[in-house]
Amino acid sequence: MEVVHGALRDNIPGYSMAHYSPKLEYLPVMLRRYRSTNVDLQHMPADHAMFLAASDVPLAITFHNYVLDAWMRRYSSPVQKLHYATDLRYFIKQALHKADTVTAVSQFTADLVGKDLGYGGDIHVIPNGVDEELFKPRNDGRRDARGKVRVLFSGNPTRRKGVQWLKEIADQLPAQVELFVTQGLRAHRKIFSGSSMYCVGAVPHKDMPALYRDVDMVLSCTVREGMPLSIIEAMACGLPVVASDCSSLPELIDHGKGGFLCGVGDVPDFVKRIGQLADSPGLRREMGLYNRHKVESCFTLSGMIDAYRMLFDDML
């Protein structure tokens, strides 16, 4: 989320970001001190817009993800379940009421918001985009000469990201496959490392291009994504993706062309598809090239920025 808004700040004249401690979200009424009326337009995530938005300034809200629906309860803690069903649901409904324009980062997210909250207004879909000049493939051929096949899981170690299946997947992978797992910048617990799975710690976003170029494919056993930047970045770097067949991921990954989509929590299928790619450098290259072209066509940073710029211009 911060990466997307930071890109808008860096590329749209006059766009600025107000920073506050995440701890204030535990007492969101305190966020009102960050309201600003000395602006022409407000753009913010939906979660706490009812507290941050000034009433006399046009407001655009963006849904970067949505987790309040009943299906997500099985992957939420008791505290999260209570929060999602009560105050956060109320906050978001109030934000929708106040907003002049609503956007979502995927069609899945837009449809789910409309259905779960009974929202009948227009939701503009603006997919996340990445800098395809920064995130680009490795072209020196050293991946294939390495011997071992490296798989990367990137994200915070949460149940929503599917961390509960990682060790089981890693334990069943072929001997020539290594699974590398990032810690996530917001993680408070260390991911298990063992003979078949290696935790590389928290990796700053600026170092991610080099990490993608040092692996052979990406794994995402998630249960819910809005429009994951990590997957788009990996695709831009020419990597195939093995991911859950859920939420927005089918909008990114064309099954059998740019990777494989597996049932949520279907460990044997994840292992099978990773092994299939591990056995075929040619298939990895073919799928990676397909993904690179898809990003260039549909998920570029410039395309995302242009879409938001046009939206903001229409609101003023």
Enclosing domain of residue 74: 2-129+300-315
- Could you tell me if 289 and 306 lie in one domain? no
Q: Among 65-79, 187-201, 222-236, 245-259, where is mean pLDDT lowest?
A: 187-201
Strand ranges of the sheet holding 101-104, from the earlier edge strand across to the other edge: 42-45, 59-63, 101-104, 124-125
Model's pTM, two decimal places?
0.94
- Residue 144: is its pLDDT beyond 60? no
Residues forming a β-bridge with 44: 61
Please write the tens of the pLDDT for every residue from 224-234: 999 999 999 99
DSSP one-letter code for 166: H
- Residue 52: is its pLDDT beyond 80? yes
Which token pair is 218? 């990406």
What's residue 186's pLDDT?
56
Quickly state the pLDDT bin for 18 (edges 50, 70, 90). confident
Query: 292 by DSSP, 3-state: which?
Result: helix
What's residue 188's pLDDT?
52
Q: At what angle do helices 301-315 and 2-11 cross, to 10 degrees?
A: 70
- Could you tell me if 285 and 185 lie in one domain? yes
- Could you tell me if 157 and 289 lie in one domain? yes
- Residue 190: is its pLDDT beyond 70? no
Which token pair is 115? 């259905």
Nearest in space to 203 (alpha carbons), one of 240, 230, 179, 232:
230
What value does the mean pLDDT of the chain take?
93
Please write the tens of the pLDDT for every residue from 242-269: 999 999 999 999 999 999 999 999 999 9
Q: CA torsion angle for 96, 102, 108, 113 (degrees, to 10)?
A: 10
Q: Does 271 map to a domain?
A: yes
Please write the tens of the pLDDT for every residue from 152-170: 999 888 999 999 999 999 9
- Could you tell me if 286 and 160 lie in one domain? yes
- Could you tell me if 265 and 231 lie in one domain? yes
- Residue 39: is its pLDDT beyond 70? yes
Q: What's the domain count of the chain?
A: 2
Quickly state the pLDDT bin for 10 (edges 50, 70, 90). very high
Q: Among 16-20, 174-178, 291-295, 300-304, where is mean pLDDT lowest?
A: 16-20
Alpha helices (H) along 244-280: 249-252, 267-278
- Could you tell me if 190 and 257 lie in one domain? yes
- Residue 84: is its pLDDT beyond 80? yes
Q: At what angle do helices 87-98 and 78-85 cross, to 10 degrees?
A: 30
Strand locations in the chain, DSSP E? 42-45, 59-63, 101-104, 124-125, 149-153, 177-182, 197-201, 217-220, 241-244, 259-262
Quickly state the pLDDT bin for 185 (edges 50, 70, 90). low
- Residue 123: is its pLDDT beyond 90? yes
- Could you tell me if 109 and 158 lie in one domain? no
Question: Is residue 191 a contact partner of residue 162, using CB atoms and an 8 Å limit?
Answer: no
Strand locations in 134-256, DSSP E? 149-153, 177-182, 197-201, 217-220, 241-244
Higher pLDDT, 11 or 194: 11
- Could you tell me if 107 and 216 lie in one domain? no
- Could you tell me if 121 and 157 lie in one domain? no
- Could you tell me if 63 and 173 lie in one domain? no
Q: Does 51 map to a domain?
A: yes
What's residue 146's pLDDT?
65
- Which residues does 283 contact at the CB level (< 8 Å), separation at least 6? 240, 276, 277
Q: At what angle do helices 281-298 and 267-278 cross, to 10 degrees?
A: 100
**Where residue 223 sits, what CATH number does that domain have?**
3.40.50.2000
- Residue 86: is its pLDDT beyond 90? yes
What's residue 196's pLDDT?
79
- Could you tell me if 97 and 154 lie in one domain? no
Strongest mean pLDDT among 26-35, 130-139, 183-192? 130-139
Question: Is residue 95 a contact partner of residue 46, using CB atoms and an 8 Å limit?
Answer: yes
- Could you tell me if 119 and 154 lie in one domain? no
